[in-house]
Amino acid sequence: DYLGLGQLKFSIQDFSEFMKIYSPNLSSSRLVSGNSIIYDDLESTISNWLNFKNCLIFNSGYDANLSIFNIFKDEDILVFSDQKNHASIIDGIRLSGLDKKIYNHLDYKDLEGKLAYHSNKNVQKLIVSDSVFSTNGNIVNIKKLVELKNKYNAILLIDASHSLGLSIFENYHDVDVLTASLSKAWGAHGGIILSSNDIRKLMINQGRTLIYSSSLPIYNLYFIKKSLQCLFDAGKRREKLTYLSDYFNKSFKVLFPNQTNSASPIKKITFDRLDVAKKIYNTLFENGVFLSYLRYPTVEKPTLRISLSYFHDEKDIDKLLELINQYYQGEKNV
């Protein structure tokens, strides 16, 4: 909930009117009788906004990433996937039984070497990457990936869950397929796939999580709609988040020179020892600071992940860093 849109107040009257217009329960897959005109309205607003030909709403970002790979199931395709891509991408590739090559995290030389090595013209190449990596906050170089996809005639698929709605990228115009969760900057729940008309058609025919699962409850679509309206005008919220990210980085660099910084709202501190990470997580929690504690196999090293939000301010960041620093006086493994 980077922009705090998940905590917006809403009018009960507005909500009740919405529920009256659209029947409360759709009770089946969108392909059976669970579709609604509100889905179509939202999809065309989202695709117009992001300048894609089409959009499809899924029940979650995870579902979107499972379905997108289904459409390549019976094709001669080779997927090139960043080493630190989200688990839903890994599962999507696996469940569709696609051949894949993993390239080192954000290492475009390694990617290019692999693309060049697998130069069989009859095999379609697909490059897939997170836009902002959920476990470390690193940001992909989309321009570089576009350059490589053009050079090697590949399809480029970006999971924009942690950047969509924020001011990290100017646009996604040269990306072929964009997937995203609606639970991050949107503060709602659901997933989307933005693509060409042909890919959307393939998804409707082959995307198993879309075909074989009941659609979202209607009230959920109300919140997607509400967040979308707010996203258009969330410039001030985005600016504040960028400011907080810079503020965090300045202090963090001084206190923890051996750790890496990110330009996204996801920050992280890694540890060599699990017990130390756990202890500091608990200490922070007891002091009213809640962050995520990631462990193997999600990450290689115990990691405390910080998600900055519009609701934070400088004092929160000072408090967080002060607490971590206090605890670590004398410890050398941060």
Cβ 118 to ligand PLP shortest distance, Å: 25
Cβ 297 to ligand PLP shortest distance, Å: 15
Alpha-carbon distance of 315 to 310, in angstroms, equals 13
Cβ 254 to ligand PLP shortest distance, Å: 29
Q: Does 191 bind ligand PLP (CB under 6 A)?
A: yes
Strand 124-130 relative to strand 77-82, pairing: parallel
Is residue 295 within 8 A of residue 276, CB to CB? The reply is no
Query: Under rule CB under 6 A, which residues in 142-161 are in contact with ligand PLP?
Result: 159, 161
Q: Does 292 bind ligand PLP (CB under 6 A)?
A: no
Alpha-carbon distance of 285 to 70, in angstroms, equals 41
DSSP string of 212-278, one letter each residue: TSBPPPHHHHHHHHHHHHHHHT-HHHHHHHHHHHHHHHHHHHHH-TTSPP-SSSEEEEE-S-HHHHH
Q: Among residues 61 and 187, whose Cβ is nearest to ligand PLP?
A: 61
Alpha-carbon distance of 64 to 210, in angstroms, equals 8
Cβ 286 to ligand PLP shortest distance, Å: 27
# of chain residues touching ligand PLP (CB under 6 A): 14
3-state DSSP assignment of residue 96: coil
Applying CB under 6 A, which of residues 167, 183, 220, 325 lies at the interface with ligand PLP? 183
Cβ 113 to ligand PLP shortest distance, Å: 25
Query: Under rule CB under 6 A, which residues in 47-86 are in contact with ligand PLP?
Result: 60-62, 65, 86
Q: Which residue is nearest to ligand PLP (CB)?
A: 61
**Per-residue interface string for the shown chain with ligand PLP, residues 1-40, x marking contact by CB under 6 A:** ----------------------------------------
Q: Does 136 bind ligand PLP (CB under 6 A)?
A: no
Cβ 241 to ligand PLP shortest distance, Å: 17
Cβ 135 to ligand PLP shortest distance, Å: 9
Q: Which residues contact 287 (CB under 8 A, 6 or more apart)?
A: 319, 323
3-state DSSP assignment of residue 172: coil
**Per-residue interface string for the shown chain with ligand PLP, residues 259-288, x marking contact by CB under 6 A:** ------------------------------
Q: Which residues contact 108 (CB under 8 A, 6 or more apart)?
A: 141, 144, 145, 148
Rule CB under 6 A: which residues touch ligand PLP?
Answer: 60-62, 65, 86, 88, 130, 134, 159, 161-162, 181, 183, 191
